[in-house]
Structure 1
Amino acid sequence: MKLPHLDWVNQDSPFLRQHQRGFRTLAFEDELEQAYKRYHANAFLGRMRWALLVAMLLALLFVVIDAFNLPDPLRGQILALRLGVIQPLLLLAWLATYRYGLRDYLQLIGGLVALLSGLAVVGIIGLARYHAFPLPYEGIILVTVFFYFLTGLRFTTAVLCGWVSFMAYIATELSLRQGLTGEALINNAMFLGLANVIGSVGCYSLEYTTRQNFLAHGLLQDLAEKDFLTGLLNRRAFTERAERSWRQAQRERHALGVVMMDVDFFKRYNDHYGHAAGDEALRQVARVIGEHARRPLDCAARYGGEEFVGIWYDLNEQQMLGILEKIRSSTEALALAHAYSDAAPVVTLSIGLAYLPPQPHQSLEDALRLADVALYLAKEQGRNRVVCKQP
């Protein structure tokens, strides 16, 4: 996915910061890394399902081949590994991809299944060597390709599975010391090692590209949803999210705090200090507001000009007023000089709160109008204050 023009993205975007810092070690900042893991799980879910399904069918094909070609007692021992270990593991991993509650653990599940399957294949080769049966070792190479490119495993997990299986194979051949000459073992080790090197490089490249796509997706989402200047949601994105919170509050009969906020005498500030200073003031005020709207169903946005809007979910009235008072006092504590304000010698914020449990006959627009009335009263009463209205 192509990156958008980076000059259009808000400079506080975590996606932009990560892109600028780079990710050669295939690791993001903590919060972004968790989001990437969810993105990766969803993006590769279909691939993992199909890969496991194909692996089960191939494993059954090998069962049929071994049933006809292997002598006793080797046949029974190898079929026990194929049918008693490999096939059940693949089936369990495939079923796990359909359990939504296990979505966050698919890398762990897939990694364990891949590693145990690889070790089982090593065990099959070891049994064949022990019984002096010329079973080709290339099966472990097939499993290695499966680790790196088909299962949707991330780089670290795939590399761990591939190289542990490689070392287990070498250790098995060395411990048996029969059925394979030293020269043949060196050739096998070289080809299997090269398969792991190629797999490691390819898997690194694949994950690096996936992470690039994740950042590009995040940057595009920021462009679509975030206000360029402040980094808060824009008006359209706020309306979409607030509508979801409103409907959920109606279903669950929880109260909402719908808030309108306005920077006091901002036109005078712009006229006196200039638009660059005005933009910086809005950024700092927005940062204060954003710090108090971090819960999943809370959101805040720049509504237009110097006006901000927010919605807080399932708080009682005193908790709601406490948060808004912190926003007001923290804005004043920024100590941004405002010589032409009638409210205070610094930049301040007037806040109107509509506090209500949404009713079936009410809409979000009704709550916003009520919050606007409360904001008007805050201005009428001298600004730099919080005023609450209820229906």
Structure 2
Amino acid sequence: MKFPHLDWVNQDSPYLRQHHQGFSALSFDAELEAAFRRYHADVFLRRMRWALLVAMLLALLFVVLDFINLPEPLRGQILSLRLGVIQPALILAWLATYRRGLRDYLQLIGGAVALLCGLAVAGVIGIARYHAFPLPYEGIILVTVFFYFLAGLRFATAVLCGWLTLVAYLAVEMSIGSAGEALISNALFLALANVIGSVGCYSQEYATRLNFLAHGLLQDLADKDFLTGLLNRRAFTERAARSWRQAQREQRALGVVMMDVDFFKRYNDHYGHAAGDEALRQVARVIGEHARRPLDCTARYGGEEFVGCWYDLNEGQMLAILQDIRSRIEALGLAHVQSDAAAVVTLSIGLAYLTPQPHQSLEDALRLADVALYLAKEQGRNRVVSKKP
């Protein structure tokens, strides 16, 4: 995915900060890392399902070949590993990809199954060596390639599985007395397969992380107001509508708020548009700091007008938040000699406080908040007015 022009992205974007910081260690800041892991699980889910299906079919093919070619008792011992360990593990991992509740644990499940299969293949080779049967060892290289490029494992998980499988293979060979040039050659090729796999898997995850950041930056461009960093009107409408529907289902209260910077046109005319933009940024920063919960949101609605939605607070708590916003904006001390409300920049706030009913809509609440805002202006501005339906 191509990166958007970074000058267009809000400078407070966590995606932009992470892009500037870099991630050569394949790790993001805690909040972004959790989001990336969910993104990775979604992106690679289909690949993991198909890879596991292919692995199951290949495992069955090896079962057929072993059944035809291997003598007893070697046949029974190897088939017990293939049918009793490898195949059930692959089937369970494949089924886990269809359980939404296990989505966050697929790396752990996939890594455990991959390592178990690698150890089982090392065991198959060891059993064949013990019986002096010339079973090709190259199958363990195929398993290693599968770890790195097909299973949808992240770099750290794939590297752990690949190198532990190499260690297990060496341990098996040495435990039955294998030595000499053949073992050195086999170990070298398996180690090189791990080196190539590690480099390739690192590059793949790095590219996936870049795509994740680009996707997040594009989403920021779509959702955020460039000047203030708050949500834009469209994004607010979408998020507030989700909060409205949840409040309607659960019969929880909502505070829908309209806010307006007092006499802002006069401020722009007197101090200039650059100063006006900076004033809006500072006002927006204060407003945004008061909406940190998942179902709360604030936005620039247009011009000097802001809007907000707070979920499941009583009216006293809502009024306390809004009074704190109003007083902190006044405390910014941004001089406004053209204002009739105060000598500094101030904010008028209208609150619609209600528990959404089936016959009501978010638009109804916004209209009620706008009426409350009009009353706040009528009563002298720099104040909070609350209305209920």
CA distance in 2, matches of 1:335, 1:106: 52
1:36-79 superposed Cα distances (whole Å, 9 cap, x missing partner): 11111001000001111111111111111111211222211111
Identity %: 83
1:218 aligns with 2:216: yes
How far 1:246 sits from its partner (Å)? Answer: 1.7
What residue is the counterpart of 1:143 in the other structure?
143
Partner Cα separation in structure 2 for residue 253 and residue 207 of structure 1: 44
Determine if the alignment matches structure 1 residue 169 to structure 2 residue 153: no
For residue 344 of structure 1, report the CA deviation from its aligned partner.
2.9
- Give 1:314 deviation, angstroms: 1.7
Partner of 1:390: 388
Residues 304-358 of structure 1 deviation map (CA, whole Å, 9 limit, x = unaligned): 0111001111222112112222222222233333333333333222111000111
Distance 2:122 2:331 in 1: 67
> Which 10-residue stretch deviates more, 11-20 or 267-276?
267-276
Unaligned runs of 5+ in 2: none
- Identify the residue that residue 193 of structure 1 maps to in structure 2: 191
**3-state SS of paired residue (1:44):** helix
User: Where does residue 184 of structure 1 map in the other structure?
Assistant: 182
Deviations 1:169-199 (A, max 9, x none): 1122122214xx4101111111111111111
Q: Name the SS of the counterpart of 2:230 in structure 1.
A: coil
Distance 1:76 1:331 in 2: 79
Any residues of structure 2 matched to 1:227-376 within 5 Å, and which? 227-376=225-374
Classify the secondary structure of the residue corresponding to 2:386: strand
Relative to the length of structure 1, the TM-score reads: 0.96
Name structure 1 gaps, 5 residues minimum.
none
Aligned length: 389
Counterpart residue identity of residue 23, structure 2: F
Q: Which residue of structure 2 lines up, in the alignment, with residue 55 of structure 1?
A: 55
Task: Write out per-residue CA displacement over residues 199-254 of structure 1, whole angstroms, 9 at most, x where no aligned residue.
Answer: 11111111111111111111111111111111111111111222222222222222
Which of 196, 204, 207 is 1:206 aligned to?
204
1:346 and 1:115 mapped to 2: Cα distance?
66
SS of the residue 1:36 aligns to? helix
Task: Return the alpha-carbon distance in structure 2 between the equivalents of residues 218 and 308 of structure 1.
Answer: 24
Please say which of residues 78-87 and 318-327 is displaced more in the overlay: 318-327
CA distance in 1, matches of 2:55, 2:282: 55
Task: Determine the C-alpha separation between the residues in 1 that align with 2:143 and 2:171.
Answer: 17
**Cα RMSD after superposing both structures:** 1.4
Matches of 1:167 and 1:223, distance apart in 2 = 48
| Structure-2 separation of matches of 1:344 and 1:111 | 63
Q: How does 1:31-110 map to 2 (within 5 A)?
A: 31-110=31-110
Alpha-carbon displacement from aligned partner over 1:140-185 (angstroms, at most 9, x marks no partner): 111111100111101111111111111111122122214xx41011
2:96 and 2:330 map into 1 onto residues whose CA distance is: 53
Q: Whole-Å Cα distance in 2 between the matches of residues 364 and 175 of structure 1?
A: 72
What is the SS of the residue equivalent to 1:103? helix
Using the TM superposition, name which of 287-296 and 352-361 deviates more: 287-296
Q: CA deviation at 1:82?
A: 0.9
Q: Which amino acid in structure 2 is aligned with residue 233 of structure 1?
A: L
Give the 3-state SS of the residue equivalent to 1:262 in structure 2: strand
* Distance apart, 1:20 and its partner CA: 1.8
